[in-house]
A and B are shown apart, each in its own frame.
Chain A
Amino acid sequence: MQDMNPTDVPGDSREVLLHLFDGTQRKVLITDEETPYPEGKLIVSRTDPEGRITHCNQSFVDMSGYEEDEIIGQPHALLRHPDMPAAAFKDLWETVKEGKKWHGYVKNLRKDGGYYWVYATVIPNVRNGEIVGYTSVRRKPSQKKIEDAISTYASMS
């Protein structure tokens, strides 16, 4: 995946090297700017069986800060924030590949280096007994759940 572009990230930022599951690396730039979850909305995306994004709704586009054509075809690791422990995503993938639902609190990285928290559910799309893709629906988490997640994730990494 492409490194983040400094011209997309306004203000002070820190550079972090992410080590992705497939062995590749991505240079990301992060800021402390939180974008509040949009009231009443769901952030929805779907992928093919390999995890490449095939569809996303307008809230997904708005919150990510990317244009839709920069998102489609990419893996969700486009949103991977360095504060998220790799173990959380390992658990996600193991769960959904078994055909089960996964839930968790996720801190996502925006194109502008800022972040937003979601409560995410990921489910496999099963058609005629086969997994043909995955769908994720994210909703607004409570402040308390975010604080719990921050301390859990800090102790995991």
Chain B
Amino acid sequence: MPYQFTVSPDFGPDQLANWHIFNTWLQRQLAIDIHFETFGSFDAQRQAISEGKVDIIYANPYDASFLVREKGFVAVASPHHSDETTVAVPADSPVDSIESLEAGCRIAQTDDPDISMMGMILLEPADLHSGNTKTLVQDSYIQVAKALIQNNADVGFFLSDAYEGLSNLVKSQLKPLVSSDIQIVSHALLLGPPLLDRREELQDRLQAMSEQPQGKNLLDSLGFKDWKPVDEEEMEFMIDLIDALAA
């Protein structure tokens, strides 16, 4: 049976093609058979993880806590790239600061747990919480933008990279209110219990990736500069942080 590799469902189809190439690279480096599996939602992915069907994962920080603390995964490396959240409203909205958002407002977001957590934290200064807002879950960040533009939602949560990646035409119809600047929190590549003994080896290979032309190209297409090894304590620290925020 091949091992299973998956990535956090927050990536669009273009990105998935690149992750597929990364999977090929992984197979060659570790000389093992690995199948690249994608999941349509965070729930479907969690289900597969619970059933022990995932061995390698590029996980978002929120899922990483569950994987490390409950499923015995270990962190290998992380790209020099932090996950930030942007909160935006329609360009013609009278709202021009977080504090002017009101109870009862409709929030468009994807089912990405990191971004919804950070988004809700960014709304706290307006005394907004899940009990006095309405959440409208969308399939993608484009859909979040559409919900705002069509006035089906009052405020939207975006992964900041996804917001930046929207076309100028779309962005011109939106007004960003605030972006998080946390820096410490990022996605990480994790190995599951059957592959724990390959951790150091993979760490070395990932670190060397940016020095090889092919590896460099692949990193570029994933939008990364390079991989930074993550040790256990760093990962635990990030998890403690998420844990504190989730409360």
Contacts and interface: CB of A to CB of B under 8 A. Distances in A.
A145 interface: yes
A89 B166 CA distance: 46
B245 A137 contact: yes
Contacts of B184: 44, 57
Interface string A102-140: 010000000000000001011101010000000111011
Interface string A37-53: 10111101010000000
A90 interface: no
A127 B125 CA distance: 33
Contact of B122 (A40, A57, A119): A40
B124 A137 contact: no
A142 B182 CA distance: 19
A122 B245 CA distance: 10
B31 interface: no
Interface residues of B, number: 22
Contacts, number: 59
Given A125-B236, A125-B240, A137-B245, A119 B182 contact: no
A139 B124 contact: yes
B192 to A, nearest CB: 21
Interface in B193-247: 236-237, 240-241, 243-245, 247
B178 A123 contact: no
Nearest to B232: A127
Contacts of A121: 244-245, 247
Interface string A18-59: 000000000000000000010111101010000000000100
Interface string A64-96: 000000000000000000000000000000000
Contacts of A97: none
A137 B127 contact: no
B240 to A, nearest CB: 5
B237 A135 contact: yes
Contacts of A139: 121, 124, 245
State the main secondary structure of chain B at its contact with A. Answer: helix
Nearest to A119: B124
Contacts of B182: 41-42
Nearest to A137: B244
Contacts of B4: none
A140 B227 CA distance: 32
B126 A123 contact: no
B93 interface: no
Interface of B: 99, 121-122, 124-127, 178-184, 236-237, 240-241, 243-245, 247
25 contacts: A41-B180, A41-B182, A42-B180, A42-B245, A46-B237, A57-B183, A101-B244, A103-B247, A119-B124, A121-B244, A121-B247, A123-B240, A123-B247, A125-B236, A125-B240, A127-B236, A135-B241, A135-B244, A136-B244, A139-B124, A140-B124, A142-B124, A142-B125, A142-B127, A144-B127
Given A40-B181, A123-B240, A137-B244, 8 more contacts: A39-B178, A40-B122, A41-B182, A42-B180, A101-B247, A121-B244, A123-B244, A140-B124
